[in-house]
Amino acid sequence: MKRETQDKKYRYEEIHDRMMRMVAKGVYRPGERMPSIRELSRSMGVSLNTVKQAYLLLEDQRIIESRPQSGYYVRPRGFDLPRQPDFSGPDLSPVQIPSAHISSQILSHAADPGMVPFGAAIPADECIPAAKLSSIMASQCRRQLHDSTAYSMPPGHVRLRVQIARRLTLAGCDVDPDEILITTGACEAVFLALKTLCRPGDTLAIGSPVYFNFLDMFRELSLKILEIPSSPETGLCLDTLETTLTSQKPAACLVISNFNNPLGVSLTDTKKEEMVRILARHKVPLVEDDINGDLSFVNVRPSVARAWDKRGEVLLCGSFSKTLAPGYRVGWLAGGRFREQAFRLKMMVSLASASPTQLAVAEFLHSGGYEHHLRHIRRIYANKTAAMADAIHRCFPAGTRITKPEGGFTLWVEMPEAVDSMVLYEKAMAQGISIAPGSLFSTTSHFRHYVRLNAAAWSDRNAWALETLGKMARTLMDSS
Amino acid sequence: MKRETQDKKYRYEEIHDRMMRMVAKGVYRPGERMPSIRELSRSMGVSLNTVKQAYLLLEDQRIIESRPQSGYYVRPRGFDLPRQPDFSGPDLSPVQIPSAHISSQILSHAADPGMVPFGAAIPADECIPAAKLSSIMASQCRRQLHDSTAYSMPPGHVRLRVQIARRLTLAGCDVDPDEILITTGACEAVFLALKTLCRPGDTLAIGSPVYFNFLDMFRELSLKILEIPSSPETGLCLDTLETTLTSQKPAACLVISNFNNPLGVSLTDTKKEEMVRILARHKVPLVEDDINGDLSFVNVRPSVARAWDKRGEVLLCGSFSKTLAPGYRVGWLAGGRFREQAFRLKMMVSLASASPTQLAVAEFLHSGGYEHHLRHIRRIYANKTAAMADAIHRCFPAGTRITKPEGGFTLWVEMPEAVDSMVLYEKAMAQGISIAPGSLFSTTSHFRHYVRLNAAAWSDRNAWALETLGKMARTLMDSS
């Protein structure tokens, strides 16, 4: 009986994913009618209710809409994707990173109850399984008096490393648990990976735009950077990467491969494989940040570039900060052939990560609630992301373009060029609204009129804040 | 009634501390008889039982011994302090740090149940209040569903920072809770302090010998170091410091001021004040590591050098890893006038530290059990340290000298020069015994025949390991 329920559940999600792909491929185009619930039920041999559930989800995600007495239609996509500024070319040269005090301000806003947290990419409170985690934490600490209080020396608790290795099979890789190093969030994982690969003064190739806190990190590591342009539709430009590697010799390359921060885009399997091949040819190791990989809106876990790595030169970074609890600070690094250096570095930097949170996350993964939890929050984020994009489209100046991510929970918004996002940031902050101005995501000035918004913080209660932002942006246009 | 009990308790500790000081000052000298229990009871107006308790503790610490029918006598100090190798002088110049893979091996041994952990300075299992911590952790996580799972952005949970600021008044400083940054252990605190003050290529003055993991950290930060000699009796040589600062210009100075690791010595108040004055005169900021400060064998918390800092240029680092639970990874940095840089740096390196362990430690400090716990474990460590020193004296080659620390739980042991501690390390490891060879504590070769032993791991059950070490050392002497 239980089994049958699970099968049904799986089918409704399968139908959802299949229809979503068909819309994405243009089999059904904006304005066209979708197959009726009855038709689909018959052709796929499932109950009416199963199809209804799939359609409701697609409706939640603003992919289809129901018209009374008429059926379901593919919604018109009312806004364009942000453009990819063209800043590739033969003049690409390593750049020093200017200091940015603002990024730490934005991160601090995340913990400030007086701010609407559209800035930092923090998960929604309702997506944190706090009660379950706390109960697991309590039982783990009581049962494991020694392990919860003693050092968990690098590489970290084996039970957690085994669970992570198991999950990585879903992303197409076969990683030895002994290669995995537990870190204080993905942030420390990336920090350790870069510190393992680069010396001060070295050059790092990065997908651009990039998560602003990383730019600050690169500066602290005294790295120069080469920004390889990435498109919100296809991700990293491999041609530019290839050209750049021929003329420059970066010590490493850093890419956020799935549900990119800020672009929302994932590299296709073909591009991931090609990227790994290009980097291997030039003997440049890759730091792959997969922090959002578990947050695909369709219930299929995307692959990681690491799956095509044959040389141990893709250092894969992940964390449970976006899916379970950011405050647990449980991240990890699969350091490939650099694992030993990474372990030693971890000892020098912070000796070990906290033990109780490692035990609690391991138990959460082990007890089997994680996949169920993911299915739950993926739907919420799909919904929030679509709803916020709609609202931006309504409130922001004409000509605003918005990404349509397929996972994660951030939106990358291109406003008309007259809007300086730094000015918008200051004005918004004065009204208790935190945003992440585009200027912070690059050393170039290409993203001055962009802004990244945290859709996890979207709710009807926060609609006023978005309207205020839109009004401000329009005022900035008029006054320019 | 309860109050009276507490008063009595206080009095017995006061008597213990007073008699201990008298022995230290030579008022009662080795071999001399102590006042009888009856005499002391009468002269100090306390019960016989109170004096008995004080004497039992002194006996535990191997400071006095009872002779049947005759009373208590000051024990002969059967072994000398390690010598302070003379390596100061005009030729003191900055040195690059060689790579040392062994330090991470020693730290790993700490988590290996197959090794006798005389190497890493990890606390004794019986000194970890694991049951109480776990119960506090459980209730904190349940009561604070949001705070225990959400980011605790730098500077960290305010409740914990307030508790730390209160404790710092015992060490003679008045620190604003808003200056305190919660870190992943004292290790990260020192890392952030150094990264705040130094650029790659800079020179750092350090008290030498120094905790080996720090040497690895300095290398990772691309720092050159100036080793300022420290004596096991009086600590850092201020004359050498002064001379060195006149000719060199280090970016910062790092000193472990209380119950130094490895020397066990604390700087007197006068020396702390003088050190702060010298550094201020040369405009060199101080990173003060006070990780063992709470572990004084007499129940008086020593001051920190920071107490004499008027310029915000002493960056004070501490942690609860030695006193509560190393696995909780709760440390802190009071960054003085560099606090903002340190906060930002923390965000770049690991974003934030784990929230649940911060909440648990804050509650432990708040609920008032910490002082009581300290009194309990101080006695255990005093006892273990003294007992292990005695055992070393019995087992090791003639001429071996041992520190007599007044806090913490490490012993610094000088063996005859013929014993190469690196060889001893390898041989001991093969027998399942971990030690910390002296070579790791300096870039000089002055400590090749030294070894640091973790007295927290001392127990009758581990006596065989010490005997084995002693036998190995004697064999190494004979074969040299």
Q: What per-residue confidence (pLDDT) applies to B140?
A: 96
Q: What per-residue confidence (pLDDT) applies to B425?
A: 94
Q: What per-residue confidence (pLDDT) applies to A143?
A: 96
A101 interfaces chain B, CB cutoff of 8 Å? yes
Q: Which of A185, A328, A345 sits opposite B350 (nearest CB)?
A: A185
Q: Which of B137, B152, B327 sits opposite A327 (nearest CB)?
A: B152
Q: Cβ(A60)–Cβ(A95) under 8 Å? A: no
Question: Are the beta carbons of B185 and A350 separated by less than 8 Å?
Answer: yes
Pairing mode, if any, of strands A203-208 and A224-231?
A: parallel
Question: Are the beta carbons of B191 and A142 separated by less than 8 Å?
Answer: no
Q: How far is B440 from chain A (nearest CA, A)?
A: 14
Q: What per-residue confidence (pLDDT) applies to A96?
A: 65
Q: How far is B356 from chain A (nearest CA, A)?
A: 7
ipTM surpassing 0.90, yes or no? no
> Alpha helix locations (H) across B294-368?
339-350, 355-366
> Alpha helix locations (H) across A396-443?
421-430
Q: Which of B153, B213, B220 sits opposite A111 (nearest CB)?
A: B153
A145 interfaces chain B, CB cutoff of 8 Å? yes
Question: Are the beta carbons of B130 and A151 separated by less than 8 Å?
Answer: no
- Helix %, strand %, coil % for chain B, to 5? 50, 15, 35
Question: Mapping DSSP to helix (H, G, I), strand (E, B) and coil, where does residue A74 land?
Answer: strand
The DSSP symbol for A251 reads S
d(CA B229, CA B241): 9
The sign of the CA dihedral A471, A473, A477, A480 is positive
Question: Are the beta carbons of A213 and B150 separated by less than 8 Å?
Answer: no
Question: Mapping DSSP to helix (H, G, I), strand (E, B) and coil, where does residue B27 land?
Answer: coil
Name the residue among B93, B102, B304 with its Cα closest to residue B215: B102
Nearest residue on chain A to B342, alpha-carbon basis: A104
Q: What per-residue confidence (pLDDT) applies to A304?
A: 97
Q: How far is A197 from chain B (nearest CA, A)?
A: 12
Question: Are the beta carbons of A108 and B154 separated by less than 8 Å?
Answer: yes
Question: Are the beta carbons of B185 and A355 separated by less than 8 Å?
Answer: no
Q: How far is B130 from chain A (nearest CA, A)?
A: 6
Domains of chain A, each with CATH number or no CATH: 2-74 (1.10.10.10), 102-126+372-478 (3.90.1150.10), 127-370 (3.40.640.10)
Q: What per-residue confidence (pLDDT) applies to B10?
A: 52
Mind listing the pLDDT tens digit for each residue in B54-113?
898 888 777 888 888 889 998 876 667 787 776 655 456 777 666 567 888 898 888 888
Question: Are the beta carbons of B327 and A147 separated by less than 8 Å?
Answer: yes
A228: pLDDT strictly greater than 80: yes
Interface test with B, best of A103, A115, A147, A151 (most B CBs within 10 A): A151
Q: How far is B338 from chain A (nearest CA, A)?
A: 14
Q: What per-residue confidence (pLDDT) applies to A163?
A: 96
Interface test with A, best of B102, B135, B137, B215 (most A CBs within 10 A): B137
Residue numbers in B near A328 (CB within 8 A): 149, 354-356
Question: Are the beta carbons of B184 and A187 separated by less than 8 Å?
Answer: no
Tokens of B476: 């190494």
Beta-strand runs (E) in A320-395: 330-334
A85: pLDDT strictly greater than 80: no
Name the residue among A292, A224, A229 with its Cα closest to residue A256: A292
Sequential pLDDT tens for chain B (480 residues): 344 444 444 578 788 888 888 887 778 888 888 999 998 888 888 899 999 988 988 887 778 888 888 899 988 766 677 877 766 554 567 776 665 678 888 988 888 889 999 999 999 999 999 999 999 999 999 999 999 999 999 999 999 999 999 999 999 999 999 999 999 999 999 999 999 999 999 999 999 999 999 999 999 899 999 999 999 989 999 999 999 999 989 999 999 999 999 999 999 999 999 999 999 999 999 999 999 999 998 878 999 999 999 999 999 999 999 999 999 999 999 999 999 999 999 999 999 999 999 999 999 999 978 999 999 999 899 999 999 999 999 999 999 999 989 899 999 999 999 999 999 999 999 999 999 999 999 998 899 999 999 999 999 999 999 999 999 999 998 886
